[in-house]
Amino acid sequence: MKLLIIKIDTSQEVEDALSIYAMDNLNALGVESRNRSDFEQAGWLHDSTVVDMDDIKDLPKDTYFYAYFDEEADRDELVKKFQDKMQELKGYGLNIGDAKITTSYIEDQDWNTAWQKYYHVINFSRHLAIVPKWEDYKPAFKDQQLIKLDPGLAFGTGNHKTTQLAMMGLERAIVKKPISVVDVGTGSGILAIAASKLGATDILATDISDESMTATEQNSALNDIKNIRVQKTSLLADVDGKFDIIVANILAEILLELIPQMDAHLNEGGQVIFSGIDYLQLPKIEKSLDENGFKIDLTMKQGRWVGLAITRKEK
Amino acid sequence: MKLLIIKIDTSQEVEDALSIYAMDNLNALGVESRNRSDFEQAGWLHDSTVVDMDDIKDLPKDTYFYAYFDEEADRDELVKKFQDKMQELKGYGLNIGDAKITTSYIEDQDWNTAWQKYYHVINFSRHLAIVPKWEDYKPAFKDQQLIKLDPGLAFGTGNHKTTQLAMMGLERAIVKKPISVVDVGTGSGILAIAASKLGATDILATDISDESMTATEQNSALNDIKNIRVQKTSLLADVDGKFDIIVANILAEILLELIPQMDAHLNEGGQVIFSGIDYLQLPKIEKSLDENGFKIDLTMKQGRWVGLAITRKEK
C-alpha cells in the first residue's frame, strides 16, 4: 500500500486547526507536525522530539504539517480543500506562514520507518513517560513508569497534548485502592495502560474499532499488563457495571454522546476525566454536563486543547 | 494569646471571595471554611477533610466561613465590614446563604487543637500527599511521597487548591536530573519540600518573613530534607544564579512584581510555575508575561484559582 502525503509549509499557530480539519473533515489516515522548535529544543521533552541536528536536511522555517491519505484519494481535490482552509484561517487573522503545499507518494513501509526517526520518548511527567517500542530509554528517575507503545499507523503519533492532559487527570484521581477505570475510546490503549501503571486495579477499555481492540491488547502485552479488559462497543453502550473513574480522550462531539451515559456507570464519589476538547467546543460540553448533573472541578488548557476533571454535582 | 473568631453562616459560592477579602483587606491571621459536603464526602479526599459524622455537633447548612484575628482587633468594625462585603457579593447575584455572623474568643492553644481535628491528610495526587505531623497515615500506594507538615498558625491551613495546582506543575516539569528549583514566597516551605521529594537536586526557598524561614527549616527537618536552602529576601531580589524551575504560589499582585525579575534567574529551557492567581487577575498576568518575553504553556483552573506553566517565548 502506498500513501499520499500532503505537506504544508505553515506556522505553528494553525497546526491544531489543520490537524482537526484533516482528521475530521478529510478523513486523513494520520497527521503529523514538525516544528522548528522541536528540533532546536533539547532537554525539555514535553510534546516534542529531540533529534540530532545533523540528521535534519529539511528544517522547517516554522512548521511542516503533514497529512497522510490513501493513495486512491483525490489529490487535487484535497489540495484545493487545504488551500481553501488556509485562506479561511488567514481570514481569522492567523499566521499561515508560506502556505506552500506539496504532495508526494511513499510506500507505507517507508513511512513507518521515516516516522520512527521522529517519534521519541515523551516525558509526560515525573512519573510517566511514553516510550516507542523501538527506543532504548533510560529514565532520569528510576521510579518513572514507562509506557511502551507501538502506536502503529492506525493511530498516527496521536496528539500528545490531549494525552498529557488526560494523564494529569489520572495522576490526580488515582489516590485510593482498589480503584476501577473505564477508558472510553481507548485507541492504542494508552490511557488504560497509564491507569494500570498508576495502580488502578480493574480496567476496561472500550472502542468502536477492531483495530483498537487489537492494538490495546498488543500494547497491554508489550507492557506486561494483565488487568485491562477490552470491549468493542460504542462508548459505554452494552457496558456492565460502574466505575470509580471514567476517562475519555475523544473529540467533543463524541463526548456529547457520552455524557448522558455516564451517570449509570459512575460509582458514588467517582470522577470523570475528559480530554480532546477544542476550547471552542467547551461551552457545549459545560452545558451538557450541567444538564446531566455533573460539574467541572478542574480545567486544564494547553494550546487549543482542554482537559477536564468532572464530578457529580452535590445533592 | 487569645484569638477573635468571626464565623459566617454562608454558601460555598462566596467562600473564596471572603477568604481573599479577610486575608488581603482585613489582615486576618487565618481563614478556614467548613463545607457540608466536606463532612458528607468520603473516600475522595481532594481539598476536603473526612471526619466521622458522629463527631460533628454543628454541621453547616452549606458553609461555615471562619476568619481569625488578634484579640485586640476591633470586633464591631470587622463585623460591619463583613456585613458590607456580604451585601456587595449579594449584589453580584451570588448566593450568600443565611449570612449570619457570630463572634467568639478562644485561646490560641484551643484553636490549634480544634483545628487539628479538621485538618487531615490531603491526597494531592497518586504520588504526593500532605500529612499533618500529628496524623498517622498509611498511603494506599507505597510509593506515594508523604510531605509531613506542621503548618502552624502563621499560615493557617493554606489554600489546598492553589498548592495542588502548583504541585501538578512541578510533577509535570521535574523530568530530568540534575534540576534546580527556586520556590518564591515559600511560606511553610511546602512547595520546596514537594520539589525535593520529586527529585529536584538543588532547591532555594525565599520569603520576606522570618516566620517562613523558621517554618521552612522546621518542615524540611520534619521530612529529613537537606537540599533546601532558605534566603530571606523580597521575591528574587539579592538571589544569585539561575534555576531550571521557578515556582511561586502567591497572589497575582505580587506575581506582577516577580515577572520582571524572572528572566535573569531562569536557565535556558527553564519553566516557571505560577499558582495563587484569582481568575479575574489572569489578563494582567498574561499581559505582563507577554511584555517580559514569556508565554503560557498550560493553564489549570480550579474554582476561582488559576495555575500556569510558563516558558520563554521562542526566539
Residue found by looking up cell 497572589 in the block:
B251
By the CB < 8 Å criterion, does B46 face chain A? Answer: yes
Domain locations in chain B as residue ranges: 2-118, 125-312
User: From first to last of its 315 residues, what are the pLDDT tens digits of chain A?
Assistant: 678 889 999 998 898 889 889 988 898 877 877 777 655 443 233 232 333 334 445 667 888 898 888 888 999 999 999 999 999 999 988 899 999 999 988 776 665 555 555 567 788 899 999 888 878 888 889 999 999 887 554 443 446 788 889 999 999 999 989 999 999 999 889 999 999 999 999 999 999 888 889 889 999 999 999 999 999 999 999 999 999 999 999 888 899 999 999 999 999 999 999 998 888 889 999 999 999 999 999 999 998 789 999 999 976
pLDDT of residue B90: 92
Distance from CA of A233 to the nearest CA of B (A): 30
Q: Name the helix (H) or strand (E) containing A171.
A: helix A160-173
Query: Is B126 within 8 Å of A176 when comparing Cβ atoms?
Result: no
Q: Which three cell numbers stand for residue A71?
A: 493513495
Residues 6+ positions from A223 with CB-CB distance below 8 Å: A147, A148, A193, A196, A197
Q: How long is chain B?
A: 315
pLDDT for B133 beyond 90: no
Of A117, A115, A125, A113, give the one whose Cα is nearest residue A45: A125
Q: In this structure, are residues B166 and B249 in contact, taking their beta carbons and an 8 Å threshold?
A: yes
The conformation of residue A314, written as its DSSP 8-state character, comes to: P
The conformation of residue A281, written as its DSSP 8-state character, comes to: G
State how far the Cα of A112 lies from the Cα of A118, in Å rounded to an integer. Answer: 10
Of A161, A171, A185, give the one whose Cα is nearest residue A307: A161
Residue found by looking up cell 489546598 in the block:
B160
The sign of the torsion formed by the CA atoms of A254, A257, A261, A262 equals positive
B-chain residues within 8 Å CB-CB of A46?
Answer: 172, 175, 297
- Name the fold adopted by A2-118: Alpha-Beta Plaits (3.30.70)
Q: In this structure, are residues B77 and B26 in contact, taking their beta carbons and an 8 Å threshold?
A: no
State how far the Cα of B82 lies from the Cα of B28, in Å rounded to an integer. Answer: 12
A185 is in an annotated binding site: yes
State how far the Cα of A130 lies from the Cα of B8, in Å rounded to an integer. Answer: 49
Q: Name the helix (H) or strand (E) containing B202.
A: strand B202-207
**Per-residue pLDDT band at B152 (split at 50, 70, 90):** low
The conformation of residue B24, written as its DSSP 8-state character, comes to: I
- CATH ID of A123-312, from 3.40.50.150, 3.40.50.300, 3.40.50.9100, 3.30.365.10: 3.40.50.150
Q: Name the helix (H) or strand (E) containing A284.
A: helix A282-291
Q: Which three cell numbers stand for residue B217?
A: 527549616
Q: How long is chain A?
A: 315
By the CB < 8 Å criterion, does B125 face chain A? Answer: yes
Q: What are phi and psi of B269, to 5 degrees?
A: 75, 5
State how far the Cα of B216 lies from the Cα of B205, in Å rounded to an integer. Answer: 8
B-chain residues within 8 Å CB-CB of A311?
Answer: 44
Q: Name the helix (H) or strand (E) containing B67.
A: strand B63-70
Q: What are phi and psi of B70, to 5 degrees?
A: -60, 145
A-chain residues within 8 Å CB-CB of B299?
Answer: 299-302
By the CB < 8 Å criterion, does B66 face chain A? Answer: no
Between helix B190-198 and helix B160-173 the angle, nearest 10°, is: 30
Q: Which three cell numbers stand for residue B191?
A: 512547595
Tens-place pLDDT, residues B72-122: 899 999 999 999 999 999 998 889 999 999 998 877 666 555 555 556 778
pLDDT of residue A150: 76
Q: What are phi and psi of B239, to 5 degrees?
A: -80, 135
State how far the Cα of A24 lies from the Cα of A18, in Å rounded to an integer. Answer: 10
Planar angle of CA B265, B169, A49, nearest 5 degrees: 85
**How distant, in Å, are the alpha carbons of B69, B102, B180 from that of B6?**
8, 6, 42
State how far the Cα of B165 lies from the Cα of B158, in Å rounded to an integer. Answer: 13
Distance from CA of B36 to the nearest CA of A (A): 10
The CATH superfamily label for domain B125-312 reads Vaccinia Virus protein VP39 (3.40.50.150)
pLDDT of residue B127: 94
Mutant choice from A15, A126, A279 vs B, greatest count of B C-beta within 10 A: A126
In what order do the strands lie in the sheet containing B128-132? B122-125, B128-132, B145-149
B113 is in an annotated binding site: no
State how far the Cα of A191 lies from the Cα of A197, in Å rounded to an integer. Answer: 10
Tens-place pLDDT, residues B189-201: 999 999 999 999 9
